[in-house]
Amino acid sequence: MSSPVRRYFSGPLPRAIAHRGFAPEGGENTLEAFAAACAHGADVMETDVRASSDNVALTFHDPTLARVAGGDPRAIAETPWSRLSTVRVHDRGTIARLDDALASFPDLPFNIDVKAASAIEPTVAAIARTGAGRRVCLTSFDPAVAHEVVSRASSACGHQVMASASRTTVAAFLAASWLGAERLSTRVLARYAALQVPIRYRGLPILTPRFVAAAHRAGCEVHAWTIDDEPAMHALLDMGVDGIVSNRVDRLVKVREARANHRTGPGRE
């Protein structure tokens, strides 16, 4: 296998990463939400994947339909695709297959959070079928799932597939950076292209200037999630984050454009 991918997707910084597409009134993770995010200028699509009972990879966040389908109690993992395919998400679109999302937006990078072990093989198969191995970044809140999906996808695609650090890796990096152990920090992040983290976690500050600087010295991008208000966007961009994951990619793109115009306005180089 080739050496690990360290560079996140090509393109200018900062990155506008659409959290489950753009669906402020509902319809997250649908093809309609992805199209709307693209229309607003998103650079990268963030989505989640679960598998149906017959092993179809679906862009869906929750374990059940309840929150987005009027209280429907059915579990994704216990329901076949034939029955899930007609379910309306907040009555604004239907559940999408990962294959269809990747094929419908062939030039768009996808940041994929694999929500359960049962989704590993269907996710890998969808990526391989659509030839999307070089435009996906894989991660999971479950470190074992994160490791396994990246390993299997890399084998299936014949090249190293990009990975975002899992929460255990983020914790190890935090500890090393707090201790000032720069070599250890670099080793911890050696396999990853990005750290994607909240501002705080359980009351503990994560995103600080020191954290961002240490990640950059280790060769890793830093992406903040999930940020929807403009003052916070400005503060994080001032801190030097490389991208923001947002439900309001429309606002984020406007903030980015306003900052770019300010830097290149009259009398500026």
Note if 223 is an active site residue: no
SS3 readout for the chain? CCCCCCCCCCCCCCEEEEECCCCCCCCCCCHHHHHHHHHCCCCEEEEEEEECCCCCEEECCCCECCCCCCCCCCEHHHCCHHHHCCCECCCCCECCEHHHHHHHCCCCCEEEEECCHHHHHHHHHHHHHHCCHHHEEEECCCHHHHHHHHHHHHHHHCCCCEEECCHHHHHHHHHHHHCCCHHHHHHHCCCCCEEEECCEECCEECCCHHHHHHHHHCCCEEEECCCCCHHHHHHHHHHCCCEEEECCHHHHHHHHHHHHHHHCCCCCC
Closest CA to 111 of 176, 39, 56, 42: 42
5-250-206 Cα angle (round to 5) = 50
Measured between alpha carbons, how far is 233 from 243 in angstroms, rounded to an integer? 10
Catalytic residue among 40, 61, 159, 262: 61
Note if 19 is an active site residue: yes
Name the residues annotated as catalytic.
Answer: 19, 61
